[in-house]
Amino acid sequence: MTNQDEFIRKLKKGSEAAFAELLDEYQQKVFHTCISFVPNKEDAEDIAQEVFLEVYRSVHKFKGNSKLSTWIYKICTNKCLEFIRKKNAKKRFAFMQTILGDEIPLDKTSFFTEFNHPGILLENKEKSETIFLAINTLPESQRVVFTLAKIDGKSYQEIVEITGKSLSSVESIMFRAKKNLQKKLENFYKNES
């Protein structure tokens, strides 16, 4: 990629060539981050498209205080969380309808119709679904830090830049996320046996 300032100037002017270059550079990376949060290929692809639409629409607001990549990952993380929130709200709504005798319940694993995250090759699909279901129940800050670090493979420094939290805060959130996950998964496997 060319000089960042020059490149951003071209993006802000609406250069199609610059946007094509941006897509080449970030398409796979953004998709990998999306599928880390939302392990379903079609959903991850949809979110990735939304990320680039948002980048295209709001690049004029980019101030250059952070790296372009950091800004893109911030948008990506927010879009994924937005999707998960909507999905969870729909599930709650369906659950309420079930209680009211209105509808058959949504399968709790419908979120995980396909699991093929490039960073995790678990032979056991059910195990990976269980892990993702557990991650999905973490408080949002823990979910974000854990997903970016352990599933998307981002360094703590990158997570600091993406989330705007301090390094010590990211480390402490990560510690709590691991502890919580351990507890959740222990309970799950206890109940299963």
> DSSP alpha helices (H): ranges in 38-155?
41-58, 68-99, 125-136, 140-146
Flag whether pLDDT at 178 surpasses 70. Answer: yes
Residue 108 has a pLDDT of: 40
Instruction: Please give the Cα distance from 57 to 14 (Å, whole number).
Output: 10
Instruction: Please give the Cα distance from 1 to 161 (Å, whole number).
Output: 21
Flag whether pLDDT at 144 surpasses 60. Answer: yes
Query: How many Cα atoms within 13 Å fall on the side-chain side of residue 169?
Result: 9
Instruction: Please give the Cα distance from 33 to 117 (Å, whole number).
Output: 9
User: Pick the residue with more confidence: 175 or 126?
Assistant: 175
Instruction: Please give the Cα distance from 112 to 43 (Å, whole number).
Output: 10
101: left (phi over 0), alpha (psi -120 to 50) or beta: left
Residue 117 has a pLDDT of: 53
Per-residue pLDDT tens digits for 94-111: 655 555 554 444 444 334
Q: How many helices (H) and strands (E) does the chain have?
A: 8, 0
Per-residue pLDDT tens digits for 13-60: 999 999 999 999 999 999 999 999 998 889 999 999 999 999 999 999
Flag whether pLDDT at 171 surpasses 90. Answer: yes
For the chain, domains (ranges, CATH) are: 4-192 (1.10.1740.10)
Residue 160 has a pLDDT of: 96
Across the chain, mean pLDDT equals 82
* Residue 82, C-beta contacts closer than 8 angstroms, at least 6 positions apart: none
Residue 100 has a pLDDT of: 54
CB 146 within 8 A of CB 174: yes
Whether the pTM exceeds 0.85: the reply is: no
